[in-house]
Copies of this chain bind each other. A is one copy, B any other.
Amino acid sequence: MNSSIIEKIRLAAPLIHCITNYVTVNDVANVLLAIGARPVMADDPEEAEEITALSAGLCLNIGTLNARTIPSMHAAGKRARDLGHPVVLDPVGAGASKLRTETAIRLLDEVHPTLVRGNISEIRTLAVGTGTTSGVDADAADAVTEENLSASADFVCAFAARTGALVAVTGAIDLVTDGSSCYAVRNGRSEMGRVTGTGCQLSALLAAALVTAPSDPIVAVAETVALMGVAGELAWDRMGEHDGNASYRTRIIDSIYCMTDEELAAHASITKL
């Protein structure tokens, strides 16, 4: 597999508009800068569409949604689609509250995002209305495992086919599908779950990737999902004796900043199912 997604993004340096949560927004900005993209955050209805029009891609993340930013997400999302820009939807915590579930479903139905990236419980909530989301984490009962891999892939693939969106489900095993093909990505470490926002970061990176690889989006998505996982692996190898999740947070972004095509190609584990 040609792992040139890093070079593509660095070359294009796309401006990515993020309407995202205030918990992880700084890391989202820095991870975009790490890979060579450029972030712009703007969430007010008065300017959301205009900032979207200026940008190359859009990332909608409902992590700390509110009555002011939901209309901004809709307006920006529709504008981006009209302009042919990729839109990533990150349905953080869908299933955890009625507001999150309904907002995510409405964005899915009305904006028609290019890609949805979430954990398996969030995706189940969007697909069948009942995930067992526990806060913003996936529920263990939903987890994609080697045992249920085939059934999980079928489920996610059917959801992608029905919605017309690319879908990336991240967890111990990641699944990427466009509704016909499906890839499993086996990268990353469980300790990444101890750093807030690695999923948010990936969603923003995926918006950058989709801008730069319009002709083969599913491969770009699979490579970018692998990239985030590989960053987590390399960062863990660089941990020192007293390092914990705060150092890990720093090292993950650093690993993306430093990553070469060769490193990604050597470590990425992407399998077509």
Interface positions of A (Cβ within 8 A of B): 15, 21-27, 29-30, 33-34, 38-44, 46-47, 50-51, 54-55, 63-68, 93, 96-100, 134-137, 193-197, 234, 238, 242-247, 249-258
A30 near B134 (CB under 8 angstroms)?
no
15 A–B contacts, CB within 8 A, in A order: A23-B39, A24-B26, A26-B197, A34-B244, A40-B93, A41-B63, A44-B99, A47-B99, A50-B98, A50-B99, A54-B134, A242-B255, A246-B252, A246-B253, A246-B254
Q: Are B29 and A44 in contact, CB atoms less than 8 angstroms apart?
A: no
Q: Would B249 and A238 count as touching, CB distance under 8 A? A: no
Task: Give the copy number.
Answer: 3
In the complex, the answer to whether A257 meets B245 with C-beta atoms within 8 Å is yes
CB of A75 to closest CB in B, whole Å: 13
**Is B46 touching A93 in the complex (CB atoms < 8 A)?**
no
Residues in B with CB closer than 8 Å to A100 are: 47
B238 touches A258 (CB 8 A): no
The answer on a CB contact under 8 Å between B23 and A26 is yes
Residue in B50, B194, B254 whose CB lies within 8 Å of A247: B254
Closest to A137 in B: B38
Contact A30 B256 (CB under 8 A): no
CB-CB under 8 A from A64, the residues of chain B are: 41-44
Q: Judge whether B21 and A41 touch: CB under 8 Å.
A: yes
